[in-house]
Amino acid sequence: MPHLHDLTALDVATAVRTREASAVEVVEHFLGRAAELGPSVGAFVHVDAEGALSTAREIDRRGTDGRPLAGVPVAVKDLTGVRGLPTGFGSRAVDPVVPDDDDHVVARMRAAGMVVLGKSATPEFGLTAYTEPEGAPPARTPWDRSRTAGGSSGGSAAAVAAGLVSVAHGTDGAGSVRTPASCCGLVGLKPSRGRISNGPAYDEGPGLAVHGLLARTVADAAALLDATAGPMPGDGAMLPAPAGSFAPRPPNRLRVGRHRVPLLADVTPDPEVVAAHDGACALLGQLGHDVVEVDPPLPRSAAGDFETVWAYGVAALPIAPEREPQLTALARWLRARGRGIDEAEYAAALDRLRTGARAALAAMNDVESNESGLASGIVNTSFMLGGAVGLALLASLADARTRASRDPLDSLLTRRHLRLALPSVHRAPC
């Protein structure tokens, strides 16, 4: 059998279910890698070896009991509550919180048999597109440890890409799962609001942030979404239960919209980004999908409205006045900016964002997906797709790329742009 960290999450679950490997053997293997490699990629801020091994021993004692991901190691982002583990929010300005209960998304992971290995690194309160928590090493992509793993779910992305866990949890309000997925060559999914409950720690607020997931294959991402999707009583946003599993299946012919206009800055996209964008579109065409040019779905003004909503939310964080100097410079700047925003300005900015989102969806009504090139220097080809359709399209792209090359470093060059699935056996870069 290949190394356990080279297996997909589904393969690890199969090995535990068939007793080809015990849950304790799996957890011990990943704990060893976390101890050896975790600091060099800035993946974890807390590793719960004792708790993980206790859970694994219980799985070996009682069996998997039909739980689909029993024995699979997972990391949870350090903005989310895990029973008995400190949540530090990446900040020196607040004392860590040790909850008595799991947040709902973590409880669902445990119900599926997953083993929480620890808490993954996040920047302060998840505010940035890079992950440099206070008092901990920065999160780096294991493919090139001189470069960032992105943010704000950078610790989770680094952990999955380096083979320290099989899959990981993240949160995403403005790219905090998708950006690290791009930086680390992973599948990153931000589900629709209401698909995974945000309870019980906080409500939906302005509706930006949701729980998401990071994986090395589309099938693993679908399995984790199956495990975590579902409401908690009292949720402000709930979606109807899916008709079936999110497991990927070949899509019908799709009409895919594309544009090259950066939404966030008046810049010319880097040639490498354009080449990746064109390559993705060409591959979609080769797979039988229709790729058409579309206008940018959002106006440039959306960035300013987002900043207003973001800063207002940061200003509302419950930070004791005497602890404010311990905040990072960015958090202090955002709080100062947010304090100058009154309720009417905030409400108007939020209304424009929501109205713009509805207009963008209406404009894209004749295409099943939208693929957009982003700003210069950001290698990130983004697919705005509904859960099952998006996973299916990514799976078809991944299958095409896997047929073309089984070399993990070669296929990384495409995955880095497309967030494609890895081959079923993948060698971690470290």
Residues β-bridged to residue 75: 118, 168
CA proximity to 110, closest of 148, 147, 82, 151: 82
Active site residues: 77, 152, 176
Rounded to an integer, what distance in angstroms lies between the CA atom of residue 44 and that of residue 92? 16
Look up residue 340 and give its two tokens.
């100058």
| Encoded tokens for 145 | 């440890």
Tokens of 147: 């470069």
Q: Give helix 387-404 / helix 271-286 axis angle, nearest 10°.
A: 100
Answer for the pair 156, 387: CB distance below 8 angstroms, yes or no.
no
Q: Is 330 helix (H, G, I), strand (E, B) or coil?
A: helix
* Rounded-to-integer distance, Cα 314 and Cα 338, Å: 7
Maximum C-alpha span of the chain: 61
Run of H or E including 77: strand 73-77
Who contacts 86 (Cβ-Cβ below 8 Å, separation ≥6)? 46, 96, 97, 98, 119
Strand partners for 116: 74
| Cβ partners under 8 Å of residue 8, min gap 6 | 166, 216, 217, 219, 220, 422, 424, 426
Residue 230: phi and psi, rounded to 5, are 145, 150
Q: Which run of H or of E encompasses 212?
A: strand 210-215
- Identify the three-state secondary structure at position 229: coil
Q: Cα–Cα distance between 269 and 372 in angstroms, integer?
A: 11
